């Protein structure tokens, strides 16, 4: 069923506590934890606890949870003190765009110069 945990999904395992993560924020619907391979001084992933393969399918099925993810991404930026200097929220979607974990997640990147357009 849509949104149900997937046995082979790394981020579902993090939600379940079966794989450790450095959690920085948690709500009833979301979890935010540090990326294991950070690309910037602040690199936090914000995920819905429910399993959807990407951001668009999350937004289509549970728009309020998609909003929760965005709100939490903003709160991460406040907590990490990158709100004023600027930060980027990224949803890689599809293998061709670099998505490697097919459980929706927002990358929150900040704390260094961020070129535009990104590579």
- Please report, as ranges, the residues that interact with ligand AMP according to CB under 6 A: 10, 19, 21, 33, 35-37, 45, 92, 98-101
CB closer to ligand AMP out of 33 and 87: 33
Q: Which option in Zn ion, ligand AMP, none does residue 9 bind, with CB closer than 5 to 8 A by kind?
A: Zn ion
Q: Which option in ligand AMP, Zn ion, none does residue 16 bind, with CB closer than 5 to 8 A by kind?
A: none
CB closer to ligand AMP out of 8 and 84: 8
**Secondary structure in 3-state letters for 46-101:** EEECCECCCHHHHHHHCHHHHHHHHHHHHHHHHHCCCCCCCEEEECCCCHHHCCCC
What phi and psi, each to the nearest 5 degrees, are found at residue 57?
-70, -35
Residue 105 is a catalytic residue? yes
- Out of 43, 103, 105, 107, which one is annotated catalytic? 105
Q: Which of 17, 18, 35 is CA-nearest to residue 101?
A: 35
Which residues are tagged catalytic? 105
């Amino acid at each position: 069923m849509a949104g149900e945990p997937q046995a082979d999904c790394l981020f579902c395992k993090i939600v379940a506590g079966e794989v450790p993560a450095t959690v920085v924020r948690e709500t009833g619907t979301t979890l935010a934890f540090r990326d294991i391979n950070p690309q910037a001084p602040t690199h936090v992933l914000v995920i819905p606890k429910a399993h959807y393969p990407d951001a668009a399918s999350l937004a289509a099925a549970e728009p309020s949870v998609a909003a929760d993810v965005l709100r939490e991404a903003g709160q991460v930026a406040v907590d990490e003190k990158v709100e004023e200097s600027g930060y980027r929220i990224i949803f890689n979607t599809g293998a061709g765009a670099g998505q490697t974990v097919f459980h929706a997640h927002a990358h929150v990147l900040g704390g260094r110069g961020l070129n535009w357009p990104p590579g």
